[in-house]
Structure 1
């Protein structure tokens, strides 16, 4: 996966943001907002302390799929770009190798409400389709995570699935989940 990021020119700039691959030195900046209740509530793992978070963050597999969002040189969030193979029948499986990606994001609450997440995720989708030549992107969330699914819709993704009580939340019990996707041809037709 490291080679995926190596195929692109960094940083990627938008009107107000800069996006670049994460490094181990980004762990303290990410911990500062990922530990906050409003953010940690929706993360797959809620780390007990800074040391546990740092150990997870600096894992080479995680770094290989993490991008940092900066505004005026300050980290304000992060993105996940995880290329994956599409499902395919055995005889054509090679043609489905790393043709799509799962996306994810996390923003510092102090920087929410200014359109930065929309700007960053739009750039992430552009990276996927124009930079990497992927054919499809997907994203998942708990149905109760309204800001996340609204963001997916703002950037043009369509809801493909609504799973009923299929996801166990650490404090909310069994919750519904949403799955969103966008095809390159849909993106380019916009």
Structure 2
């Protein structure tokens, strides 16, 4: 098992895409699509100005969990791979350290509808299970974010929960949320 993204061989190539760790110089390209209303409305943090976005983007902890998606050398989206500990009882907690990951993504709307997100997230899951040796991946979204939960289903994740009005959106409304997951053995059985 590989313990860190730094231990993997980069870039990872798919049929049409290149996936690689983010660098500080990627901030302007990511800002170009993350500032758009269709993308920003679902992001955890919405920045009003590029400087604020860049400051957050280049934080070492964020860069360490961000991967960029390129098509023909152009950045078209990004992925989040955030390893985390699984819940465990105290006596076995050491065995649950960094054994799963939360996944996330955002795509430039100009490149949506061509299967790039499905291709990129499938590669991300492969990285998690085959490269990092994780046992489980999870992803969360607002229930109203249909493109995100449909993507989760396309890549083989299963909906594990539907929480009712548990997520406060920046617009001031409480929204339902969905949680999806996939186990390594489910991935291998595909």
Structure 2 unaligned blocks of 5 or more = none
Structure 1 unaligned blocks of 5 or more = none
Residues in 2 aligned to 1:70 and 1:5: alpha-carbon distance in whole angstroms: 18
User: Which residue number in structure 2 is paired with residue 83 of structure 1?
Assistant: 83
User: Which residue number in structure 2 is paired with residue 169 of structure 1?
Assistant: 169
Residues in 1 aligned to 2:120 and 2:9: alpha-carbon distance in whole angstroms: 16
Question: How far 1:84 sits from its partner (Å)?
Answer: 0.4
Question: How far 1:41 sits from its partner (Å)?
Answer: 0.4
User: Which residue number in structure 2 is paired with residue 160 of structure 1?
Assistant: 160
Q: What's the secondary structure of 2:149's corresponding residue?
A: helix
Residues in 2 aligned to 1:56 and 1:66: alpha-carbon distance in whole angstroms: 12
Q: What's the secondary structure of 2:19's corresponding residue?
A: strand
Q: Alignment RMSD, CA only?
A: 0.7
Residues in 1 aligned to 2:48 and 2:82: alpha-carbon distance in whole angstroms: 25
Residues in 2 aligned to 1:116 and 1:90: alpha-carbon distance in whole angstroms: 41
Q: What's the secondary structure of 1:15's corresponding residue?
A: coil
User: Which residue number in structure 1 is paired with residue 19 of structure 2?
Assistant: 19
Question: How far 1:78 sits from its partner (Å)?
Answer: 0.1
Question: How far 1:114 sits from its partner (Å)?
Answer: 0.0
Q: What's the secondary structure of 2:166's corresponding residue?
A: strand
| Map 1:105-184 → 2, pairs under 5 A | 105-171=105-171, 173-184=173-184
Q: What's the secondary structure of 2:4's corresponding residue?
A: helix
Correspondence 1:43 to 2:38: no
| Map 1:53-64 → 2, pairs under 5 A | 53-64=53-64
User: Which residue number in structure 1 is paired with residue 185 of structure 2?
Assistant: 185
Deviations 1:59-100 (A, max 9, x none): 000000000000000000000000000011111111101100
Residues in 2 aligned to 1:188 and 1:72: alpha-carbon distance in whole angstroms: 30
The verdict on how the C-alpha distance between 1:30 and 1:179 changes in structure 2, with shifts beyond 3 A counting, is same
Deviations 1:5-51 (A, max 9, x none): 11100000000000000000000000000000000000001101000
Question: How far 1:171 sits from its partner (Å)?
Answer: 1.3
Query: Structure 2 length as normaliser, TM-score?
Result: 0.98
